[in-house]
Structure 1
């Protein structure tokens, strides 16, 4: 199976770290990596900038993309990896959406730079925008300065209140298949027993994972769900955190301002956001 992976970049060290992670994650797979840079300029700015300056800006971005492509090729040891560049004049959200559609992208991998504060850091604004608005393709968010670790353990938190379709679980199992990973299903215990609906949803989820290694885990409810998830990540040496992003989900809450600032969610490991 060949993978088409989209790698948005702003040419920062942080985005390069995400590219390196992607190359290592798919080190043994056949892939085409698309390096994407957006040179979108607001309408207000366009009226103040000459056409020649706009052209120069685009030419410089293309040159940087070509240099990045060369660097990625030189850093890569898999002859079955191809690299292509995409220079877009659209906003990042639209640029990613167009690339996913036009190039049959199966996964977007991007870095996030945290903002320091009293309670850690939260996702950068570009990452928040992509996660909250983008619903066509899974997004794997790589924390700043994260060194690659083979994802042998994947956490999948759920309250079992929602029925997952097979299309929502597919990105999770595909990620697990790369390294024969074990999927750790985390249920935060609000009641002593599951309701009939929760039991049914749990049964269906287990049926989807029938060909994968998985285990069920219960944790007592904390005051802050973010602390609970991070404790689970540390205790079980989780390498990737995966969640489905749906209406009223945990992800929808953490990417809303000012909640994201208030809870200070720090992604300790790469975070796979799966669209519903």
Structure 2
């Protein structure tokens, strides 16, 4: 049974992430750990805050069941948490060995909620024990037919991350579309890492797509996602490599406004 962590602040974007996850994994046995960081750990009224949080969590689950229908494959664990938001959620994910964390991405008009903007990226940086799926608010659920994986292959893709990609393919009956940006094309380590990865996913993938950088790496990726009708984008998070540039200052705003498919971020795990 998969364990899926969904932090919520009861905003529309966090509910949309929960709804998307429930639909995506509708045929998979899952326990959803719905966590609300209701107050700091030093708040003298934290017990009252936890009671109020639990009431809202109960209402949230009732809303979800009403919207997606009763599913005997799904169980829900409702957790009011007294903690710092990002650190508390990350520690919960690690302690309870979550298989996936799902968070909502912001809409243009929702800029003050706790899980949005830079805080969402702080969660990505803090949660290193499992993959993170970021779900844009302004999308309707649709079947995931194509999952694009993009990398410059400067590092090997770990066995755990390959297994995660294959898990998503099996759950959603999807095809992996490997995409790379043409740079350092003759570098031996990158070519070896790419070849090993492509061999490992061969049964679940299409032919690799190689693209030149025509208007910056971000716009190249966004154009590829649009033209190839990609349903989910996947990358590995390297704290001091290509990915940091992708989510860096200024780029996150472009992601929030332009990336209109869920974004699966894999942790930098060793082989």
Q: Same fold (TM over 0.5)?
A: yes
Note if 1:187 corresponds to 2:180. Answer: yes
What is the CA–CA distance in structure 1 between the aligned matches of 2:143 and 2:210, rounded to whole Å?
A: 25
Task: Determine the structure 1 residue equivalent to 2:48.
Answer: 56
Query: How far did residue 85 of structure 1 move?
Result: 0.4
* 2:242 maps to which of 226, 247, 250: 250
Bigger radius of gyration, 1 or 2?
A: 1
Pairwise CA RMSD: 2.2
Whether the aligned pair in 2 keeps the contact of 1:239 and 1:270 (CA below 8 Å) is: yes
Whether the aligned pair in 2 keeps the contact of 1:93 and 1:133 (CA below 8 Å) is: yes
Task: Determine the structure 2 residue equivalent to 1:72.
Answer: 64
What is the CA–CA distance in structure 2 between the aligned matches of 1:67 and 1:19, rounded to whole Å?
A: 13
What is the CA–CA distance in structure 2 between the aligned matches of 1:258 and 1:231, rounded to whole Å?
A: 18
Task: Determine the structure 1 residue equivalent to 2:8.
Answer: 9
Any unmatched runs of 5+ in structure 1?
117-122
Query: How far did residue 103 of structure 1 move?
Result: 2.9
Q: Deviations over 1:197-226 (max 9, x none)?
A: 222112110122133233200111123211
Task: Determine the structure 2 residue equivalent to 1:200.
Answer: 192
Any unmatched runs of 5+ in structure 2?
110-115
* 1:267 maps to which of 219, 244, 259: 259
The TM-score with structure 2 as length reference comes to 0.87
Note if 1:143 corresponds to 2:142. Answer: no
SS across alignment from 2:207? strand
Task: Determine the structure 1 residue equivalent to 2:155.
Answer: 162
Task: Determine the structure 2 residue equivalent to 1:24.
Answer: 23
Task: Determine the structure 1 residue equivalent to 2:223.
Answer: 231
Task: Determine the structure 2 residue equivalent to 1:119.
Answer: none
* 1:110 maps to which of 95, 103, 109: 103
